[in-house]
A and B are shown apart, each in its own frame.
Chain A
């Protein structure tokens, strides 16, 4: 209950900041020595929050479906792709982490490339992946691959850190039980890595959303929220509130993915919630 309330307060503060700046800010933006340091506050650049919300209710085009339904269905489309990419990326990241923990050589050889992989600009990469897929797989699958490409990284790095987190005493204890690598992994390293895995999964969720949205834009995939943002922003001069509706949809998508990842965490982290210490 308290968390819902604080989330609502956060939303109210955000709206207040937006509207507050609109009220006091210069409509043409503040320019210092020829450089604009504060954005324009006119209705074209920063529409009223209320306008964005009412725009959701009105039809997309005259006689068409209302905007909220278009945004919602686009959001669901992208959610599907994001989920697929997230799942694939998480599995790949997990397997890479286990391989890197098991063999130091793999860690030394692979980890630099894992990090390098994230420095390649996504926009440059998207057409390449689309090219590989060619006609073998549909466009949405290319987008899912891009989402997975972004999502695997935090999982691989976080999970590796988690698998390496048990202290020497724990590892020695398992050795004293004559447990081999596999049983040490199952009984010690995997459970110990969970506190590292879940924050990594959250990052991966956010990365998958970004990957899916940017992937849709750069491959020109129709039907998703990324495409909608591009379409609506073309109308930004005549209908400025419209593009923000698509952005609201993207934000909502991010929230839903974050919530889904948090749900994964609940049953596995029970021991972290009870904290009262018995002293005797």
Chain B
């Protein structure tokens, strides 16, 4: 079974008006269960738009978007995915624990269940000691970890992330990348990850989807096969080969990337 299936999807903003923008056209993408797929491309290539289509935050103009085998809108109502944005977007009036509990609350989970699940998720992201803190008391990296815990709280089969580490420093980012991989491995979650960092995409993903703008489309997909994803992997030849391949694809040298 596939986690996400897009068939000939296009998205046009403001259709029929002078400010019409073709954000995406002819997108075909299939993501298998447990796969980690990154969307990479320059600004304006529609990678965030694509993520929003999968999340059913905006409707597609044409084509079909299926998540967990159902239409995206049904999947959203069934809460088949968790989502995290570039800004942590925590509710400042709620403690860390109550932020993580929010999606459970909206699902009508019992108080005891919410507590237990929030504690479990906060332990997973290493913030068990900060359950009673308010977001304003935490650093940016910690807030982002809370946002990831919140996205994972309902144990979604699919995790959607829109440049979640974009605003963080390099060290924090690498640590969170390792944590994210461990969490995904442990929970078997499929992930769609939007980024504009080549090294991040390669390190995290089974597959890197390269996009280009005007109109936004998929120009190449690069399969990454690293033996293990740890600090040693960041030095391995396979890692550097994949980075080179993605970089070439981004430069528009798609044909070369496909044959190499």
Contacts from A to B (Cβ < 8 Å)? 167, 169-170, 172-173, 175-179, 183, 187-188, 191-192, 194, 271, 274-280
Q: How many A-B residue pairs have CB under 8 A?
A: 72
Q: Is B79 within 8 A of A169, CB to CB?
A: no
Q: Is B91 within 8 A of A170, CB to CB?
A: yes
A63 shortest CB reach to chain B, Å:
58
What A residues does B79 contact at CB under 8 A? 176-178
The answer, yes or no, to whether B218 is at the interface (CB within 8 Å) is no
Q: Is B55 within 8 A of A176, CB to CB?
A: yes
Question: A-facing mask of B37-67, CB < 8 A → 1, else 0?
Answer: 0000000000000001001010000000000
What A residues does B134 contact at CB under 8 A? 271, 274
Excluding A178-B106, A271-B136, A274-B136, 11 further A-B contacts by CB distance (< 8 Å) are: A172-B57, A172-B85, A173-B83, A173-B85, A175-B57, A175-B76, A177-B102, A188-B91, A191-B94, A275-B137, A277-B138
Question: A-facing mask of B119-137, CB < 8 A → 1, else 0?
Answer: 0000000000010011011
Q: Is A177 within 8 A of B103, CB to CB?
A: yes
- Tell me whether A274 and B137 are in contact in the complex, defined as CB-CB below 8 angstroms, given that A176-B81, A188-B91 are known contacts: yes
* Complex: A280 Cα to B175 Cα, angstroms: 12
List 6 A-B pairs, Cβ < 8 Å: A170-B89, A172-B52, A172-B83, A173-B89, A177-B79, A191-B93
A242 shortest CB reach to chain B, Å:
49
The answer, yes or no, to whether B259 is at the interface (CB within 8 Å) is no
* Complex: A167 Cα to B87 Cα, angstroms: 10
Q: Is B103 within 8 A of A277, CB to CB?
A: no
Q: Which of A170, A178, A275, A277 has the most B CB atoms < 10 Å from its CB?
A: A178
* Complex: A173 Cα to B77 Cα, angstroms: 13
> Interface SS of chain A: helix, strand, loop or mixed?
helix
Q: Is A183 within 8 A of B139, CB to CB?
A: no
Q: Which of chain A's residues has its CB closest to B162's CB? A: A169
What A residues does B130 contact at CB under 8 A? 278
Q: Which of chain B's residues has its CB closest to A194's CB? A: B93
Q: Is A271 within 8 A of B92, CB to CB?
A: yes
Q: Which of chain A's residues has its CB closest to B160's CB? A: A176
B104 shortest CB reach to chain A, Å:
10
Question: When A and B form their complex, which 5 residue pairs have the shortest distance between CB atoms, in order from nearest?
Answer: A169-B89, A271-B134, A178-B77, A191-B93, A279-B139
Which residues of B in the span 132-151 have a Cβ within 8 Å of any Cβ on A?
133-134, 136-139, 142
* Complex: A172 Cα to B134 Cα, angstroms: 22
* Complex: A167 Cα to B86 Cα, angstroms: 13
Q: Is A278 within 8 A of B137, CB to CB?
A: yes
* Complex: A275 Cα to B77 Cα, angstroms: 37
* Complex: A173 Cα to B93 Cα, angstroms: 16
B136 shortest CB reach to chain A, Å:
6
What A residues does B89 contact at CB under 8 A? 167, 169-170, 173
